[in-house]
Amino acid sequence: MASQALRRFWDALRRQPAPGAVGEEIACRHLVSRGYRILDRNFRCRSGEVDVVARKDGATVFVEVKERHGESHGRGQESVSLGKRLRVIRAARLYAARRGLSEGPVRFDVVSVDWEGSRAHVRHEEAAFDSEGL
């Protein structure tokens, strides 16, 4: 009896989208609609994580996606701290090295998905920070 309840609990957890998955999907749709080609999503390594890797106009674009429900913790773009930027940069360098992308231009964007009720507002800041995190 207890094992069936536990199995139902785990099955219910698996059916729920991961936190941020909806925001990342919206961000990817936004990027594709503006001519970006999505190369990868959720690249993780020991150094950090890159939410979306895309290409546009010959540049590899590493995108940090922030999703916010309400403004109590600020807008999504405002929440990308220097520490988070540095982790994204370290992960991006590893991603580029593993895939031989060191020759082309690289950019770091932030896409913010801010919810107001059931409506998502997408803000895309191109070149939000540089390879030094500034």
Domain assignment present for residue 56? The answer is yes
Say which CATH number the domain at 76 has.
3.40.1350.10
Domain assignment present for residue 14? The answer is no
Domain count, the chain: 1
Mean pLDDT, 10 residues at a time, the chain of 134 residues: 66 58 94 98 94 96 90 66 94 93 89 90 94 90
Domain assignment present for residue 75? The answer is yes
90 CB-near residues (< 8 Å, 6+ apart): 47, 48
Residue 114 three-state SS: strand
Q: What is residue 78's predicted lDDT score, i.e. its pLDDT? A: 73
Domain assignment present for residue 3? The answer is no
Nearest C-alpha neighbor of 55 from the set 35, 70, 80? 35
Domain assignment present for residue 5? The answer is no
Q: What is residue 79's predicted lDDT score, i.e. its pLDDT? A: 78
Domain assignment present for residue 38? The answer is yes
